[in-house]
């Protein structure tokens, strides 16, 4: 009767450990930018809902700035494109986020969103 050993070698453990650390560090750098994007999306929708269809561009920007201040966003209302389509206010935004990974390597993510359905 032959018994086969089961388990993980030390080198295999090190390789998997390094892989998990790299994935965790990558996640810790990328996840906050996704959260920021969803906060911006939520705040633009809330600002449009708050001001109503007869509001001016300045009213929408002020409402967004109040929501952005509460959520502590670095995103400014000046980066919003505000227009009216079919009597409804539509707010669009697009921006680029550069995440430094290591040395001279960065990850660039292009975010864009709109309140239009």
Is 108 a member of any domain? yes
Is 9 a member of any domain? no
Distance CA 84, CA 99 (A): 34
pTM beyond 0.85 = no
Q: What is the pLDDT along the chain (117 residues), one digit of tens a residue?
A: 677 777 778 998 999 999 999 999 999 999 999 999 999 999 999 999 999 888 899 999 999 999 999 999 999 999 999 999 888 999 999 999 999 988 899 999 999 999 987
Where in the sequence is the domain holding 94, given as residue range(s)?
36-114
Which pLDDT value is given to residue 5?
A: 74
C-alpha count within 13 angstroms, C-beta hemisphere, residue 90: 10
Q: How far is CA 35 from the centre of its chain?
A: 4
Is 18 a member of any domain? no
Which pLDDT value is given to residue 3?
A: 77
């Amino acid at each position: 009767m032959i018994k086969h050993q089961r388990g993980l070698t030390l080198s295999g453990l090190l390789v998997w450990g390094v892989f998990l650390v790299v994935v965790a560090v990558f996640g810790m750098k990328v996840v906050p930018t996704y959260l920021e994007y969803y906060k911006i999306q939520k705040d633009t929708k809330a600002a449009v809902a708050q001001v109503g269809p007869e509001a001016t561009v300045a009213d929408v920007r002020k409402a967004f700035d109040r929501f952005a201040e509460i959520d502590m966003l670095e995103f400014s209302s000046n980066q919003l494109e505000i227009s009216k389509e079919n009597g409804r206010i539509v707010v669009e935004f697009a921006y680029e986020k550069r995440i430094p990974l290591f040395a001279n390597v960065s990850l660039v993510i292009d975010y864009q969103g709109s309140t239009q359905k």
